[in-house]
Amino acid sequence: MTVQLPEADAPQDLAAIDLTDPQTFHDIDTHAMWRRFRTESPVHWHPPRGATPGFWVISRYADAVEIYRDNKRFTSERGNVLATLLQGEDSASRKMLAVTDGQRHRQIRNLMLKSFSPRVLQPVVAGVHRHTRELLAQAVERGETDFAADVVDHIPIHTMGELLDIPLADRPQLVEWNTKTLSAHASGDGEFESIMARNEILLYLSELAAKRRANPGDDVLSTLANATIDGEPLTDDEIVFNGYSLILGGDESTRMSTVGGLIALAGNPAQWRRLKDGEVTAESATEEVLRWTTPAMHFGRRALVDVPLREKVIRAGDIVTLWNTSANFDEEAFDDPCSFDVGRSPNKHVVFGHGPHFCLGAFLGRVHVGAMVEALRDTVGAIELRGPAKRLYSNFINGYSGLPVAFTKA
């Protein structure tokens, strides 16, 4: 048995929906909204609003995958999320892996991949499982807890801290800065706070990278700070921005998937029972949690040439947004997509993107979510939500910053 999302209506005029406004994702049933986009306007032109330029909205899975693969006609170098694309260009362009294309992208990616192989990460993986079980055990003993603040917030940043060798005392501050960078806790949190938080992380990493260049260790930041490509060292910006990207992607998205996964398991008792009884594997449940939560709602590209798509023509220079949060619920790609099904197979979601820019940290993302799924299965008997989850205010990150729950020991 699976529990389905409720049916609801989206506004009648799709052109009236403002995807640049985070409030839209609080006011509208987004599953109903995306269902209508996929059906009525899968290649949709989002009109300009004031000084904000227009952009294309891609909602079908097949179209999103096609564009993700196509780094000849679409580029990431002008930005890869809506906020920076609308500003014209990302300040990290050609410095950070996610917004670098071509040969330089391949060179830096190959350099960083050495630090992300499953063999190299084996001790890190063991630490993730150990740390997750310790924090969850403490929460179970307390009985009632804020699952986000007391448990989940301490796990991925600990892993990123190990990878970058960030002092333990500094890690909570990085979590706070990172949350402000990608999203907000409420509508009153402004763009200024986001920019300042980003600058704080960059400044912190810049100082840390200088120390690692002088006294290198075995961490990823030391690797970046002391690496050479064709005999030339990476620039200071490349070192800092690629260290920043690890914190940016590795912390926030993992936390959102884990918190959202607990909400899904609590709200779908039959699926929770399937996991507890061993009817499905933790790996299968992990993939469904990732699909169901889809923490990064979209990624973006800019067209380099005119590209025909579903009887529309995307013009050279146009902004194109690929909405994972729609693609992962596409009826043409997933059976019964609006049901949370921990045994779903196949489950080829695009949570980590696709193609040349497939997320470098995908393996670790799966490790984090999988460790929590296993720990919940083995140590928790029952989950009871004790209040509303505190939703983040964002048109990019889908998730929660607070979740009061009570656990019963297995």
Which amino acid appears at position 216 of this protein?
P
Residue 4: pLDDT over 80? no
pLDDT of 192: 78
Contact 55, 298 (CB under 8 A): no
Per-residue model confidence as pLDDT tens digits over 362-400: 999 999 999 999 999 999 999 999 999 999 999 999 999
More confident residue, 175 or 324: 324
pLDDT of 271: 98
Architecture in CATH for domain 14-409: Orthogonal Bundle (1.10)
Rounded to whole angstroms, how far apart are CA atoms 298 and 365? 17
Residue 330, CA distances (Å) to 197, 336, 354 in order: 35, 9, 16
Residue 9: pLDDT over 60? no
pLDDT of 184: 55
pLDDT of 187: 55
Residue 47: pLDDT over 70? yes
pLDDT of 2: 45
State mean pLDDT over 18-34.
Answer: 95
Mean pLDDT value across the chain: 92
Rounded to whole angstroms, how far apart are CA atoms 92 and 112? 17
* 15 DSSP 8-state letter: G
Query: Of 70, 37, 66, whose CA–CA distance to 330 is shortest?
Result: 37
Per-residue model confidence as pLDDT tens digits over 237-253: 999 999 988 887 777 88
Say which residues have a Cβ less than 8 Å from residue 218's Cβ, sequence separation at least 6. Answer: 165
pLDDT of 329: 98
Residue 5: pLDDT over 90? no
Residue 7: pLDDT over 50? no
Per-residue model confidence as pLDDT tens digits over 272-314: 999 999 999 999 999 999 999 999 999 999 999 999 999 999 9
Rounded to whole angstroms, how far apart are CA atoms 73 and 320? 12
pLDDT of 246: 86
pLDDT of 178: 77
pLDDT of 218: 86
More confident residue, 65 or 168: 65
State mean pLDDT over 91-97.
Answer: 93
State mean pLDDT over 323-344.
Answer: 98
Tokens of 195: 């920019």
pTM for the whole structure? 0.92
Type and span of the H or E element at 35 = helix 30-40
* Buried/exposed code over 235-252 (b: 16+ C-beta within 10 A; e: otherwise): eeebbbbbbbbbbbbbbb
Per-residue model confidence as pLDDT tens digits over 153-201: 889 988 988 889 999 899 888 878 877 776 555 555 567 788 888 899 9
Q: Is 5 exposed, middle or buried (0-12, 13-18, 19+ CB in 10 A)?
A: middle
Contact 316, 375 (CB under 8 A): no
Residue 408: pLDDT over 80? yes
What are the structural domain ranges in the chain? 14-409
Contact 222, 212 (CB under 8 A): yes
Residue 11's pLDDT band, with cuts at 50, 70 and 90, is: low
Rounded to whole angstroms, how far apart are CA atoms 75 and 299? 12
pLDDT of 1: 38
